[in-house]
Structure formats: structure tokens, C-alpha cells
Amino acid sequence: METLKLVFSLLVLLVGLTTGAAIAYDYNGQNAQAEAKVSWLISFPDGAPSAVVDDLMNKLEGLGATITHEYSTIRAWAFDAGQSVIDDFANRFQTTVNADWKPTIEADSIVRAFDGNGPV
């Protein structure tokens, strides 16, 4: 009977440990701790083929970015993502794009033309 209690206790401990490990890591084996998302802009130069732009935007979303706005006057999008998404995108995809079509990614920020006293 004591042996049965010991085996059962070890089994409960093993299940608890594996459940805790599954909670700590997502299905890709990456740490699932929430990374702060910030706003970014990605813009493409004139003449970049739509197929290239669409492919890179799909890859950016596939890495976890959330598109928040598509600009109509310029070929650019606003999106939210953590720094790890930006780093992963730059390492995996941005280096393989033709230099003439390479997108620019920058942190989104407020732009002011006037500060109340005239142009800035």
C-alpha cells in the first residue's frame, strides 16, 4: 500500500511539473511571457512590387505583428509588435529583399508641424 501511495505521489508531481512547463512555453517552444508591444511604421519605396510588399506584410503578421492602419497617401502601414518580432523580421526576411525594395521600419511617434508658436 505504501508503494502505491509513493507511485501515485510521484505521478501527481510529474503531471504538475509538465503542466507548469507547458504553461510557461507556447507551442513553438518560445517563452510565453508577454512582451510589451509598441507601435511601429513600415514603409516601402516607390516601385516595390505588390507581390513583394504583400509577402513581407504577411510574414510580419505571421511573426505576431498586428496591423493597425494602412496609409493611402504613402506605401506604409502602422502596426503593433514587440522588439523580438522586429528583430526576427529583420534577421529572417529583410536581409533577403532586393535593396531597391527594402522596407524601412521605425518606431511610431507623434509628429508635430507647429508647437503653438509657429513651425517647429
d(CA 47, CA 51): 11
Q: Where are the domains of the chain?
A: 1-33, 38-107
- H-helix segments, 1-120: 2-24, 50-62, 83-92
Q: What's the pLDDT tens digit per position in 39-74? A: 999 999 998 999 999 999 999 999 999 999 999 889
Q: Please report, for residues 8, 10, 64, 84, 88, the alpha-carbon distance to residue 108 in angstroms, rounded to integers and kept in the order given.
A: 55, 52, 17, 16, 19
Q: What's the pLDDT tens digit per position in 1-14? A: 666 554 445 444 44
Q: What's the CATH code, domain 38-107?
A: 3.30.70.80
